[in-house]
């Protein structure tokens, strides 16, 4: 029985200690305390939920100020330093809140700009007390002491460098989003590019996409058309294929900035005076690690075939023949890492 009472007393004592700690955190010892500012920020957030227009924005603005001030006050009472620096952990938390407040928005509270400027803002918050001399009742601005100047310069400079690296990461990620053909380059040793599709993508798929979409359009222009029209079309093949390619690029790559870095060109060769070989080229004009660049090629064979006029003209003599164009294109689009062949 004594053991039971002892255990119950120990449990009660433990619970009482937890309650005392929670009460010390939640209940402000006086009106002028950091808890008061936190409660004001919560109250402001509650009121802004029911307000509209500029009233809501004003209440939310002061709510953010109360939250930042209360957090800064609480974390500087007994500061814990970031290992290896003299930066308080509280400055890191306060810097994050300031960055979100200044550069976030209602749609995305945490934006790339918020993350990029977070280290620099935290360093500036850490350095501010070095420029102020005094106590809670009276204070004045001062020039930091010589031993503090070096710490400030190293801390702020290091955090600004970290912000630059973060910005470079976001810029690189944006480039790879707007110019997906860059994913064909070798980024295996990069510390900033970490995307799963880099491992699997050997060649830019947009170059293949352009020719796959262009092929049926070219076939429609030639297949089954009178041979005289086919030869006339091939005579102006540069203009015709370039215009068709521009339309394909605009339709299929309109969401990417790299659409301006692709160009479509044809190459035509006469084969034994009977038919033609038409090469459709999609050429990459953007940056690449390949010295001579690269392009994609799809080869098509165009031949005249004789068909009965009965197939094209009602009530025509079935023994009369006319020549029409027939086109057959390769199913596979080839990747060539070199300069495109010259025009003939």
In tens, the pLDDT along 183-202 reads 777 666 666 665 544 444 56
pLDDT at 100: 86
* C-alpha separations of 24 from 35, 39, 41, 272 in Å: 10, 15, 19, 96
Q: Which residues pair with 282 in a beta bridge?
A: 264, 296
pLDDT band at residue 62 using 50, 70 and 90 as cut-offs: confident
Which range, 108-112, 243-247, 283-287, is most confident? Answer: 243-247
Lowest-confidence range among 16-20, 58-62, 291-295?
16-20
The answer to whether position 89 is within a domain reads: yes
The answer to whether position 186 is within a domain reads: no
User: Are 224 and 276 within one domain?
Assistant: yes
pTM of the model: 0.65
User: Are 226 and 113 within one domain?
Assistant: no
Instruction: Decide if 162 contacts 119 (C-beta within 8 A).
Output: yes
How many C-beta atoms lie closer than 10 Å to residue 302's C-beta?
A: 24
pLDDT at 16: 61
The answer to whether position 12 is within a domain reads: yes
pLDDT at 297: 94
How many C-beta atoms lie closer than 10 Å to residue 322's C-beta?
A: 17
The answer to whether position 341 is within a domain reads: no
Q: Above 80 in pLDDT, residue 141?
A: no
Residue 28 zone, left/alpha/beta (φ > 0; ψ -120 to 50; rest): beta
Select from 177, 193, 212 the last residue of a domain: 177
User: Are 166 and 289 within one domain?
Assistant: no
User: Are 209 and 168 within one domain?
Assistant: no
Distance CA 9, CA 7 (A): 5
Domain range holding 58? 2-177
pLDDT at 199: 44
Q: What is the mean pLDDT of residues 64-91?
A: 73
User: Are 87 and 217 within one domain?
Assistant: no
User: Are 149 and 220 within one domain?
Assistant: no
Q: What is the mean pLDDT of residues 199-222?
A: 84
Q: Which is more confident, 234 or 9?
A: 234
Instruction: Decide if 230 contacts 248 (C-beta within 8 A).
Output: no
Using the CB atoms, write b or e for 232-258: b if 16+ within 10 Å. ebbeebeebbeebbeebbeebbeebeb
pLDDT at 307: 75
Using the CB atoms, write b or e for 103-122: b if 16+ within 10 Å. bbeeeeeebbbbbbbbbbbb
pLDDT at 159: 92
Q: What angle do CA 185, 196, 338 make, to 5 degrees?
A: 20
pLDDT band at residue 162 using 50, 70 and 90 as cut-offs: very high
For 83, which DSSP code? T
pLDDT band at residue 3 using 50, 70 and 90 as cut-offs: very low
User: Are 211 and 109 within one domain?
Assistant: no
Distance CA 77, CA 80 (A): 10
User: Are 26 and 171 within one domain?
Assistant: yes
Q: Which is more confident, 258 or 28?
A: 258
Q: Extract the tokens encoding 154.
A: 């190293």
User: Are 206 and 173 within one domain?
Assistant: no
The answer to whether position 185 is within a domain reads: no
Widest CA span of the chain, in angstroms?
A: 121
The answer to whether position 94 is within a domain reads: yes
Q: What is the mean pLDDT of residues 67-86?
A: 71
pLDDT band at residue 80 using 50, 70 and 90 as cut-offs: low
Distance CA 42, CA 243 (A): 61
Distance CA 329, CA 301 (A): 6
pLDDT at 266: 93
Which residue shows structure tokens 């799963």?
196
Q: Above 60 in pLDDT, residue 82?
A: yes
Q: Above 70 in pLDDT, residue 328?
A: yes
The answer to whether position 191 is within a domain reads: no
User: Are 8 and 103 within one domain?
Assistant: yes
Number of folded domains in the chain? Answer: 2
User: Are 154 and 254 within one domain?
Assistant: no
Q: What is the mean pLDDT of residues 159-169?
A: 92
Q: Around 256, how many Cα atoms within 13 Å sit in the side-chain half-sphere?
A: 18
Q: What is the mean pLDDT of residues 71-76?
A: 72
The answer to whether position 344 is within a domain reads: no
User: Are 112 and 224 within one domain?
Assistant: no
Q: Above 80 in pLDDT, residue 236?
A: yes
Q: Above 80 in pLDDT, residue 99?
A: yes
Lowest-confidence range among 131-135, 278-282, 292-296?
131-135
Lowest-confidence range among 13-22, 309-318, 333-342?
309-318
Instruction: Decide if 336 contacts 299 (C-beta within 8 A).
Output: no
State whether residue 140 is helix, strand or coil.
Answer: strand
pLDDT band at residue 283 using 50, 70 and 90 as cut-offs: very high
Q: Around 55, how many Cα atoms within 13 Å sit in the side-chain half-sphere?
A: 7
List of residues 6+ apart from 258 with CB closer than 8 A: 178, 179, 180, 181, 182, 206, 286
List of residues 6+ apart from 101 with CB closer than 8 A: 64, 68
Select from 143, 177, 211 the last residue of a domain: 177
Distance CA 58, CA 36 (A): 19
pLDDT at 214: 94
């Amino acid at each position: 029985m004594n053991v039971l009472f002892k255990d119950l007393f120990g449990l009660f004592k433990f619970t009482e200690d937890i309650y005392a700690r929670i009460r010390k955190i939640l209940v402000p010892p006086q009106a002028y305390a950091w808890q008061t500012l936190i409660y004001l920020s919560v109250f402001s957030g509650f009121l802004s939920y029911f307000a509209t227009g500029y009233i809501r924005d004003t209440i939310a603005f002061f709510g953010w100020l109360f939250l930042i001030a209360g957090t800064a006050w609480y974390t500087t009472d007994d500061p814990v330093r970031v290992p290896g620096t003299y930066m308080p952990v509280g400055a890191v938390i306060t810097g994050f809140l300031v960055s979100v407040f200044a550069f976030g928005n209602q749609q995305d509270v945490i934006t790339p700009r918020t993350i990029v400027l977070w280290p620099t803002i935290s360093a500036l918050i850490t350095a501010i007390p070095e420029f102020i001399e005094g106590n809670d009742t009276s204070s004045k601005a001062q020039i930091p002491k010589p031993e503090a100047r070096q710490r400030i310069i190293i801390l702020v400079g290091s955090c600004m460098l970290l912000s630059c690296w973060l910005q470079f990461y976001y810029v690189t990620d944006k480039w790879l989003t707007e110019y997906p053909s860059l994913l064909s380059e070798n980024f295996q040793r990069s510390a900033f590019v970490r995307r799963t599709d880099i491992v699997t993508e050997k060649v830019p798929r947009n170059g293949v996409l352009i020719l796959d979409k262009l092929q049926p359009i070219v076939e429609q222009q030639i297949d089954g058309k009178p041979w005289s029209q086919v030869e006339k079309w091939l005579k102006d093949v540069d203009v015709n294929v370039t215009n068709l390619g521009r339309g394909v690029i605009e339709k299929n790559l309109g969401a990417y900035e790299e659409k301006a870095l692709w160009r479509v060109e044809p190459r035509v060769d006469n084969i034994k005076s009977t038919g033609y070989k038409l090469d459709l080229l999609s050429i990459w004009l953007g940056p690449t690690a390949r010295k001579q660049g690269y392009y994609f090629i799809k080869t098509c064979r165009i031949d005249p075939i004789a068909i009965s006029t009965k197939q094209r003209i009602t009530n025509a003599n079935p023994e009369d023949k006319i020549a029409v164009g027939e086109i057959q294109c390769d199913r596979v689009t080839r990747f060539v890492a070199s300069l495109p062949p010259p025009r003939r």
